[in-house]
Amino acid sequence: MSFRFRNLRLDHVGVVGSGQIGPDIALHLARSLAPAGVRVTVVDVAADALARGRARIEQKVGRDREKGALAPAAADAVLGALSFTTDYGALADAGLVIEAATENLDVKRRIFAQLERLCAPDAILASNSSHIEPSLIFRDLAHRARALVIHYFFPAERNPIVEIVSGPDTSAALAGTVMALYEEIGKVPIRVGSRYGYAVNPVFEGLFLAAALAVEEGLGTVKEVDAAARRALGLGVGPFTAMNLTGGNPITHHALDEMTTRIGPWFRSPRLMRDAMAAGTPWEVPKRDEKVELPPERERRIADAMIGAYFGLSGEILDSGIVTLADLELGVEMGLVMKPPFRFMNEIGVGRALELVRAYAAAHEGFPVPACLQRQAGAGTPFAIDCVLRHDDGDVAVLTIRRPQVLNALNDDVYAQLVRRFTEVRDDPGIAAAVLTGFGTRAFVSGADVNFLGAIGSPAEGVATSERSKLAGNLIERLGKPVVCALNGFALGGGSELALCCSARLVRKGLPLAISQPESNLGIVPGAGATQRLPRMVGLELAAEMLRTGRALSGRQAVESGLVREEVDGDVVTAAVELARAAARGDVALEGASPAPLALDVALPDVDLGFRSRAIDALITRAIVEGCRRPLADGLRFESEMFGECCATEDMRIGVRTFQEKGPRAQPVFVHR
């Protein structure tokens, strides 16, 4: 067995280093690749480090087994895939080796010199360095095109973010393959240019420095600043707590001093850090569930300092040009578990954000006031944060909805970006066709963001919301160029409705859940076209059952129903690009929903509604029957009216509130009105 992805085949992968992060990287690789029979070998020169690494992995796998996160057979497969050795020769046949040794340039160069002698010429050689530029790490390699940085974040087996950093000689094709590979195996990769510390660590370490300076300046104790910073920035843990958890004092101490000359003069290891290093004791931080209360004025002063530092640090990184705004936003939010910087600036107002940065810079010599923030404040508009990304594969534009925090759920911003992107595609003479897909492997689109639905206040707002949600789909349907939907994961609700607007749909092979319209479970009428397009595509009986009961189709069932063209064993996006290009050439005919009315002379078949709202079902039934008797455009408008009426019902409020308070699996108790 082996893991195959695009032009990559992996039978064996290796990790060099069994210290702070190497075992966790190995665990991630084993969990992702063991089902395909891939072996994972951890190499370290110290047998005691290997023993500690093995014990840590076994403890984590055992804990996951006990919690039910890993089935017993899967847990056994993960542990069975792993081996630990002091023999570098065991890596000779590895197709991917990740160095996770100490952050020492000489050590890394010696490791890669040995790996280059051992491994096949096409093996990928990667470093998990957290700071050092690839050009320095791989300087002495004869074949630098196959080398790059893959920077994991703590804890490596669970933190979704990885930074992919190319060197000047790294093959662009390899970097693209590695980006796609990490998305395939469950991570959220962001592409970062080469600079000391890359994109995310200067935020992490810069915020620690800002917190330490706040203590040195008398704004509060370590415990107080840690708690106040956590509250101000929406951090999962405060900056001092994070140092304790990651064992990060030594590397942050060194990194901050390096950043003085490599990034800017404000950076340096503070006195507080030097004292802690000398004492060798952990930071005194709040205990679990301990409440640390401060007087309001002290809380505000700490918050203003930390927020000003955060915005300035984030803006400086964007100014450097090593990362896009969208990737930096995602990397910081998910990698560091905190409020995303540019959305945070938009929330408080970009002008106010600039004031906080200027105030911090005035009090701290050498601190940057980013040009990007000054420009945005001068324009008087919020930052644009892309969540619909475009890249072109020759004459085919590939659009990806990327909101992994919410499984690519839709809101007004996503719909607006879809309209903008597809308008660009329509008007681009160099583009013959398009592919629409979602980020990751779990979901194409998990539906509409329920908070977005919960904000609808009246039937009129409901009609307007439904009409807005149709704009993107209508544009896709009438684009004049083939659009193939690559279902990388399940499509629920609004995601299914987007897919229905495309010229054809392909689905990743083996999905037990591929397409569903679960709105009836929430007490909602589908509002983005499903009541009109679905019956025209799969027939009245199946469509009515799906719309009224939330019945889901697996990938195989979706193909059998005619809704999906085929299941793809392999990269579904690549297959979709090929199909879209063939359709653009005229080699394949693709047809969407018929615009003509349906001849409906019979009542809808009975279904078992179960717990679902009879009031909402009556509206869904009207939308199907009365809408489908009209031309498609008129039926879509009628569906919007039914969605508006649904927004006046008690049951919609009950359904949305139940979802928000108890989660998607809770069954609302409807009152049928």
What pLDDT shows up at residue 174?
97
The architecture in CATH of the region 3-192 reads 3-Layer(aba) Sandwich (3.40)
> In 3D, which of 172, 205, 156 has the Cα closest to residue 317?
205
How do the domains of the chain map onto residue ranges? 3-192, 201-379, 388-662
Instruction: Output the CA–CA distances (angstroms, integers) from residue 91 to 41, 115, 192, in the order listed.
Output: 7, 8, 28
Other CB atoms within 10 Å distance of the CB of residue 370? 22
- Summarize the confidence of residues 259-280 as an average pLDDT: 95
- Mean pLDDT score across all residues of the chain: 96
Is the Cα dihedral 489, 492, 498, 501 positive or negative?
positive
- Coil, strand or helix at 9: strand
Q: Which burial class, exposed, middle or buried, applies to 413 when counting CB atoms under 10 A from its CB (0-12, 13-18, 19+)?
A: middle
Apex 332 CA angle, 442 and 370, nearest 5: 140
Of the CA atoms within 13 Å of residue 216, those in its CB half-sphere come to: 15
What pLDDT shows up at residue 495?
97
User: Which stretch of 233-237, 243-247, 526-530, 574-578 has the lowest confidence by average pLDDT?
Assistant: 243-247
Q: What contacts 55, CB < 8 A, 6 or more positions away?
A: none
- Summarize the confidence of residues 417-437 as an average pLDDT: 98
Q: What contacts 167, CB < 8 A, 6 or more positions away?
A: 133, 134, 135, 137, 138, 144, 147, 148, 149, 194
Domain 388-662 sits in which CATH superfamily?
2-enoyl-CoA Hydratase; Chain A, domain 1 (3.90.226.10)
Q: What is the pLDDT of residues 122-163, one digit of tens each?
A: 999 999 999 999 999 999 999 999 999 999 999 999 999 999
Identify the active-site residue in 519, 567, 639, 641: 519
Q: Do residues 500 and 492 lie in contact, with contact meaning Cβ atoms separated by under 8 Å?
A: no
pLDDT higher than 80, residue 258? yes
User: Which stretch of 233-247, 313-327, 344-358 has the lowest confidence by average pLDDT?
Assistant: 233-247
pLDDT higher than 90, residue 548? yes
User: Which stretch of 259-268, 450-459, 511-520, 606-615 has the lowest confidence by average pLDDT?
Assistant: 450-459
Identify the active-site residue in 205, 497, 567, 641: 497
Q: Do residues 100 and 154 lie in contact, with contact meaning Cβ atoms separated by under 8 Å?
A: no
Q: Do residues 484 and 503 lie in contact, with contact meaning Cβ atoms separated by under 8 Å?
A: yes
pLDDT higher than 70, residue 289? yes
Q: What is the pLDDT of residues 444-475, one digit of tens each?
A: 999 988 877 778 889 999 999 999 999 999 99
Cross-strand partners of 507: 487, 567
- Coil, strand or helix at 631: coil
Tokens of 24: 């966790």
Q: What is the pLDDT of residues 171-195, one digit of tens each?
A: 999 999 999 999 999 999 999 999 9
Per the annotation, the verdict on 103 as an active-site residue is no
> In 3D, which of 215, 192, 233, 211 has the Cα closest to residue 336?
233
Q: What is the pLDDT of residues 38-83, one digit of tens each?
A: 999 999 999 999 999 999 999 999 999 999 999 999 999 999 999 9
Q: What contacts 436, CB < 8 A, 6 or more positions away?
A: 399, 401, 476, 483, 484, 485, 486, 498, 499, 502
Q: Strand order in 490-492's β-sheet?
A: 443-445, 490-492, 515-516, 552-553
What pLDDT shows up at residue 448?
86
- DSSP summary character for residue 91: G
- Summarize the confidence of residues 612-632 as an average pLDDT: 96
What pLDDT shows up at residue 602?
67
- Summarize the confidence of residues 274-301 as an average pLDDT: 94
In the numeric block, the tokens 């509250």 are attached to: 231
Q: What is the pLDDT of residues 16-38, one digit of tens each?
A: 999 989 999 999 999 999 999 99
Q: Do residues 126 and 98 lie in contact, with contact meaning Cβ atoms separated by under 8 Å?
A: yes
- Summarize the confidence of residues 499-523 as an average pLDDT: 96
Name which residue leads in pLDDT, 77 or 602. 77
The architecture in CATH of the region 201-379 reads Orthogonal Bundle (1.10)
Peptide bond just before 155 cis, omega within 30 deg: yes
| Percent of all residues in the chain with a pLDDT value above 90, rounded to a whole number | 94
Report strand pairing: 566-568 vs 504-508: parallel
Instruction: Output the CA–CA distances (angstroms, integers) from residue 152 to 130, 161, 474, in the order listed.
Output: 8, 7, 41
Global pTM value:
0.94
Q: Which burial class, exposed, middle or buried, applies to 553 when counting CB atoms under 10 A from its CB (0-12, 13-18, 19+)?
A: buried
Per the annotation, the verdict on 626 as an active-site residue is no
pLDDT higher than 90, residue 665? no
> In 3D, which of 482, 496, 483 has the Cα closest to residue 448?
496
Give buried/exposed letters for 603-631 (b at 16+ CB in 10 A, else e): ebeebeeeebbebbbebbbbbbbbbbebe
| Percent of all residues in the chain with a pLDDT value above 70, rounded to a whole number | 100
Cross-strand partners of 486: 437, 506
Alpha carbons 408 and 338: distance in angstroms, whole number: 19
Alpha carbons 614 and 520: distance in angstroms, whole number: 10
Consecutive H or E run containing 148: strand 147-152
- Summarize the confidence of residues 655-664 as an average pLDDT: 89
- Coil, strand or helix at 5: strand
